[in-house]
Amino acid sequence: MKEVPKEPKKLREGYTTGACATAATRAALLTLISGEVQDESTIYLPVGRFATFHLEECEYRTSSAVASIIKDAGDDPDATHGALIISEVSWCNGADIIIDGGVGVGRVTKPGLPVPVGEAAINPVPRKMLKETAEQLLAEYNIQKGVKIVISVPEGEEMAKKTLNARLGILGGISILGTRGIVVPFSTAAYKASIVQAISVAKASNCEHVVITTGGRSEKYGMKQFPELPEEAFIEMGDFVGFTLKQCKKQGMKKVSLVGMMGKFSKVAQGVMMVHSKSAPIDFNFLAKAASESGASAELVEEIKGANTASQVGDLMTQSGHHQFFEKLCKYCCLSALKEVGDGIDVDTSLYTLKGDFLGQAVQHGN
């Protein structure tokens, strides 16, 4: 009997820090108004549906109320999964709704982000959710008072070390994020958003030259190569080469330096602009052609066609002294990059080994 393939398990959605902060705030304010401690909180998410959150803790104090929720990111590998999100709500003079961050919520120190310098890193959509939730409850109970909302994340400073916050100039903790209220598992949207933000911060820091890398290791090599550039100029693009290049051009960068290694940059040289291991195989015939153009023997070219990895090709070319091969590969990367963005910027590419040995470089000026 033929085995029927199992359908892949549907990944479980989670909730953003912004949604958790809003639900905790609603519970805290309701407790402050009514004097009755809550055990759950239901809010309307920006994505267009209601969600009910279980409260980890809810407490009524003399002039304030506190509620907390443990963030559930679903099946997404989120740095803030399991974070305790606390909202403390208190009365204040006037009719204003004041929103601030407490322990573990970062503070913005660099321009270029959607939140002004000096303010808590609570993004525009979560701020709107918090404000509207407070306004609705105050109107419902006909209360003419102002409230102060302080969001805290006790483990936030430690969690922030796994994010790009410090590079973006968000210090002291995590950001309260989310435009939809839900976390879609393994979504690329969050990573792309962080790339856009990083380029915005670079621009706001007056950078016209940025260095884009595929990860932390290649970034370290890039920093050694370009010591004159500020930290803001270095942007981890992950696998999103084409997306990052287009964003660099869109935001007015004049020069982009690509720094990486043989595996992913062999794909860029071919014109592949999404370099995830599953996105496209390495074309060893293409590498063999580049090797031939660099003066490799017919025997070596055949060996390259049968190679297993791009790193193996790099080793073969290094051992045979064909260093021009790496410059040629870098030139192909530059040409692919310019083709992707339609010229208008200068591009250079540098290749390194995994251990950080420099292999080659090429520069191409856009029209």
Q: For 193-238, write each residue's pLDDT tens digit.
A: 889 999 999 999 999 999 999 888 899 999 999 999 999 999 999 8
Q: Are 128 and 119 in contact (CB under 8 A)?
A: no
Which residue, among 14, 17, 37, 13, has the nearest Cα to 129 in the 3D structure? 17
- Kindly give the pairing relationship between strand 146-152 and strand 57-60: unpaired
Give 187's pLDDT tier (boundaries 50, 70, 90).
low
Query: Could you give the domains of the chain?
Result: 14-183 (3.30.2110.10), 188-364 (no CATH)
Give 186's pLDDT tier (boundaries 50, 70, 90).
low
pTM over 0.75: no
Distance of alpha carbon 303 from alpha carbon 307, whole angstroms: 6
Is the model more confident about 44 or about 178?
44
Task: Read off the tokens for 239.
Answer: 């696998």
Distance of alpha carbon 76 from alpha carbon 181, whole angstroms: 14
Is the model more confident about 17 or about 13?
17
Range with lowest mean pLDDT among 180-184, 206-210, 253-257, 301-305: 180-184
Give 257's pLDDT tier (boundaries 50, 70, 90).
very high
The residue ranges of DSSP E strands in the chain, in sequence order, are: 14-15, 40-44, 50-54, 57-60, 64-70, 84-92, 97-101, 104-105, 107-108, 146-152, 170-171, 173-174, 182-183, 209-213, 234-236, 255-261, 346-352, 358-364
Question: For 298-334, b where at least 16 C-beta lie within 10 A, e where not — what string?
Answer: eebbebbeebeebebbbebbeebebebbbbbbbbbbb
